[in-house]
Amino acid sequence: MLRYDDGRRAAWTADGLDWQAVFLHWNPAAPSKRYWQGHTPDVCLTAIGNDTTRIAGRVWFQAAGLRLPFAVYAVGNTPKPAYVYYCLWNDLLSSHLREKLPAAWADRLIPVLVGVRNPGHRSLEISLSGLADEAQAGTALENQLQKIIRRGP
């Protein structure tokens, strides 16, 4: 349904926390905007009956030499407190440009300036449950990112 070119999903338990991760990649030059743009936690989780509240628009985490911007959501209707961290990565943008521009502008303006339409996109959505507040969840995510993010050639 999302027409991604590569996707991976994993679930695991570590240090008493339940984790889930979904990674999707859309290749460049494919008319995929409607697919990656519509795959966000507030859309998908609401569609399956959860209440979601966006609690941060852009929080930065370091992993494998990258600065990754994540939107942060609290998820309701769950047995334990749950948080979802969502990163949408445009393959053309450097971390430096991402920090300077608002997220919506970065995805639209940079491809125009460099003359590339429909650049590739990647999304990483990581959820965890078992911690009482977002600050603790953020620290746990930062530690987990060091273990799971690898930068390829």
The more confidently predicted of residues 10 and 108 is 10
How many domains, in total, are found in the chain? 1
Task: Decide if 1 is inside a domain.
Answer: no
Using alpha carbons, select from 8, 6, 4 the residue that is nearest to residue 20: 8
Using alpha carbons, select from 149, 16, 139 the residue that is nearest to residue 72: 139
- Give percent of the chain with pLDDT exceeding 70: 67
The sign of the dihedral angle between the CA atoms of 92, 98, 100, 101 is positive
- Give percent of the chain with pLDDT exceeding 90: 29
- 84: buried, middle or exposed (CB in 10 Å: 19+, 13-18, 0-12)? buried
DSSP 38: T
Task: Decide if 153 is inside a domain.
Answer: no
How far is 7 from 30, CA to CA, in rounded Å? 16
Task: Decide if 59 is inside a domain.
Answer: yes
pLDDT of residue 54: 75
Would the pLDDT of 104 be above 80?
Answer: no
Q: What is the pTM of this model?
A: 0.77
DSSP 90: E
Task: Decide if 93 is inside a domain.
Answer: yes
Q: Max alpha carbon distance in the chain (Å)? A: 48
The whole domain housing 63 covers 6-148
How far is 87 from 82, CA to CA, in rounded Å? 17
Would the pLDDT of 96 be above 50?
Answer: no
Q: 137: helix, coil or strand?
A: helix
